[in-house]
Structure 1
Amino acid sequence: MKKEVGLWIDHRKAVIVTIEDEIEVTLEIRSNVEKHARFSSGAQSKDPNQPKGSTAEDMRDRQFGDHLDSFYDGIISMIRKADSIWIFGPGEAKGELEKRLKLAGLGERIVGIETVDKMTDRQIATKIRDRYLR
């Protein structure tokens, strides 16, 4: 009974397709994170609990990173029992998830990382099915 997982990921969502005993299950996880904007300079934080020199953008960067960490942890909890994991997507999220998987001791289960454009859920499922159910 081999459990194979393929997932498409960006910072906004992950589409996870699990194939076990030729039965396919598709799940979508949304990060609910807002698009991350970068600013060239910013106002200093007026919060006395923040370190001196900390800007509002620094605080947003930390919140963004913390939110993504929770998103990745949720994905990892859903794919932890997979025998093989194939990750693809358009941006940086796939590499960030790969690092998190390696830290969780699951790096040896990664069978591939691939850069692809945005895809529909049906295209994602078909791509994963074609790889694992040849």
Structure 2
Amino acid sequence: MKQKIGIWIDTRQAFIVKLSNDKHTVKIIESNIDTRERVEGESKKYGRFGGQYLTYEKHQQNRKKEQTNIYFKNLLKEIQTCESVVLFGPSQMKNLFEKELKNNMQFASKLVGVHSSDLLTENQTIAWVKDFYK
């Protein structure tokens, strides 16, 4: 039983629509990526040479990158047994996930398209995936 999958992906969540034998199932995966984060202790520091402002930008970037990698691993678990995958969504996250799929030999041949789209409701997402695979 081969499945065709459409993934609407955003920075906050992914809607996974699985089509098999004219039936569909929807699964939502939350990303848990902190986009606006304030690090405790991020303030002006006074040192021996006067006022200095220390930023924790590198720590925030590393944390966001790690959270994105965990998000992608959860998505890859969902598409292991599928026949084909189409990605669509409004943000750059679909392009990052496309690179992740192309770098992984197991999933590189399954990707059939990447498209831009607006924020869709659940029913619109299901209809979009069904129209794509007709």
Structure-1 separation of matches of 2:43 and 2:68: 24
Deviations 1:14-36 (A, max 9, x none): 00001112221100001122225
* Unaligned segments of structure 2, at least 5 residues: 45-53
Which structure 1 residue ranges, 4+ long, deviate > 3 Å from structure 2?
none
Aligned length: 121
Q: CA RMSD in A?
A: 2.1
Q: Write the distance in 1 (CA, Å) between the matches of 2:87 and 2:111.
A: 8
Q: Which residue of 2 aligns with 1:127?
A: 128
Q: Separation in 2 of the partners of 1:76 and 1:36?
A: 26
Q: Percent identity?
A: 27
Letter in 2 for 1:67: Q
Which secondary structure state, in structure 1, belongs to the residue aligned with residue 125 of structure 2?
Answer: helix
Which structure has greater strand proportion? 2
Contact 2:12 2:31 (8 Å CA) reproduced: yes
Aligned to 1:24: 24
Distance (whole Å) between structure 2 residues aligned to residue 57 and residue 43 of structure 1: 12
1:24-103 paired onto structure 2 within 5 Å: 24-36=24-36, 55-103=55-103
User: SS of the counterpart of 2:132?
Assistant: helix
Cα distance in 1, alignment partners of residues 78 and 128 from structure 2: 20
Provide the secondary structure at the position in 2 that maps to 1:83.
strand
- Quick check: 2:4–2:85 contact (8 Å CA) kept in 1? yes
Larger radius of gyration: 2
Alignment partner, residue 112 of structure 2? 111
Q: Contact 1:43–1:56 (CA<8 Å) still a contact in 2?
A: no
Normalized against structure 2, the TM-score is what?
0.82
**DSSP 3-state at the match of 1:15:** strand
**What is the distance in 2 between the residues matched to 1:117 and 1:21?**
28
